[in-house]
Amino acid sequence: MSVIVTGSVAYDYLMSFPGRFKEHILPDRLDNISLSFLVDTMVRQRGGTGPNIAFTLALLGEKPKLVATVGPDFTEYRAWLESHGVDTSLTVVIPEAFTASFFANTDQDNNQISSFYAGAMAYATQASLRSLTAKPDLVIISPNDPKAMDQYVTECKALGIRYLYDPSQQVVRVSGEELRHGVEGAHSLFVNKYEFELLQKHTGMSAEQIIGSTGFTVVTLGGEGAVIYAEGKEYRVPVFRPKEILDPTGVGDAFRGGFVRAYLLGLDWELCGKVGALAAAYCLETRGPQEHAYTPTEFVTRFRQQFDDGGKLNILAA
């Protein structure tokens, strides 16, 4: 089985300001703002939906290939992904742009001022699936430059490749027509509950029509778990109780990575969902989307502390 993951690649620069923004913003001077906040801490985290999903797939023993555009500042990130088993040979370096970057400054009241620089991600249409030499078993289309997402849908349809459509937060940026294009004929669809409602609104399709247009649909419900609509049935998936919740960033991506790994191994729907749930729990327990670690064997051992797989997960640890 070979899987290609497309999606944004980004660095997240997270800063914390030891004061309150509101004490420095003068309401009567709003037409002339020039503020600089001296921050206490800054971390740079590896993120972006493409590498986040690929990272979990690789932790669980898959050899995913990442298709994305990156800047010359990707070198260190590339080495990190490669050392974890993600194949980055299909990434395209855009010499004149930085890797997409998210800058967020958070104050003591948890207020946030942030900026997202698309950088190399804005060139994502340059990373085409048409240049693939071998046909993958599955392509994951996760949030990215909206034009590129639509292009990947078109390419998968033209090349007869199964694709998992994961519009996630880009539901608000992609047109209704493009969303319908993505949903119709998708091998699978992954969204959270809120995005599922927006998807219905923007496409004008009912929940039943959306579910009926895809091979299967997974709607995640945060702390309430997830529901899988497949083969005319509905499967409820519980959460795996995390030891603690340090940071939810990347939890949806980790869930997808876990689910897809189990799916590609041929496991049943409920097991796919539960593998996704544990992969998500690991992500919740650390700060940053790719700071957690486990071997497949450790994963299976922990899985059995809460769930019963009837020995079927031996295939994962093999």
Ligand X SMILES: Nc1ncnc2c1ncn2[C@@H]1O[C@H](COP(=O)(O)OP(=O)(O)OP(=O)(O)O)[C@@H](O)[C@H]1O
Positions touching ligand X (CB under 6 A) are 168, 192, 220-223, 225-226, 239, 242, 245, 248, 250-253, 255, 277, 280-281, 284
Residue closer to ligand X, measured from CB, 114 or 126:
114
| Contacted by 255, from Mg ion, ligand X, none: CB < 5 to 8 Å by type | ligand X
Q: How far is the CB of 225 from ligand X (least distance, A)?
A: 5
Which of 191, 101, 180, 87 has the alpha carbon at shortest distance from 142? 191
| Contacted by 242, from ligand X, Mg ion, none: CB < 5 to 8 Å by type | ligand X
Q: What is the 3-state secondary structure (H, E, C) of 113-136?
A: EEEEECHHHHHHHHCCHHHCCCCC
Q: Give the Cα separation of 253 and 79 in Å (integer).
A: 20
Q: How far is the CB of 72 from Mg ion (least distance, A)?
A: 29
Q: Is residue 257 within the footprint of Mg ion (CB under 5 A)?
A: no
Place of tokens 């906040």: 37
- CB proximity list for 167: less than 8 A, separation 6 or greater: 143, 149, 174, 179, 182, 191, 195, 199
| Contacted by 186, from Mg ion, ligand X, none: CB < 5 to 8 Å by type | none
Helix residue ranges per DSSP H, the chain: 49-59, 75-83, 146-159, 176-183, 193-203, 207-213, 251-264, 269-284, 296-306, 314-317
Active-site position among 253, 268, 308, 309? 253
Q: Give the Cα separation of 140 and 130 in Å (integer).
A: 15
Q: How far is the CB of 196 from ligand X (least distance, A)?
A: 10
Q: Let me know if 166 is a catalytic residue.
A: no
Interface of this chain with Mg ion, residues 27 to 86, rule: CB under 5 A: none
Q: Is residue 276 within the footprint of Mg ion (CB under 5 A)?
A: no
Q: How far is the CB of 173 from ligand X (least distance, A)?
A: 14
Residue closer to ligand X, measured from CB, 61 or 242:
242
Pick the binder of Mg ion from 167, 252, 257, 276 (CB under 5 A): 252
C-alpha triplet 248, 147, 62: angle, nearest 5°: 50
Q: Is residue 168 within the footprint of Mg ion (CB under 5 A)?
A: yes
Residues that bind Mg ion (CB under 5 A): 168, 252
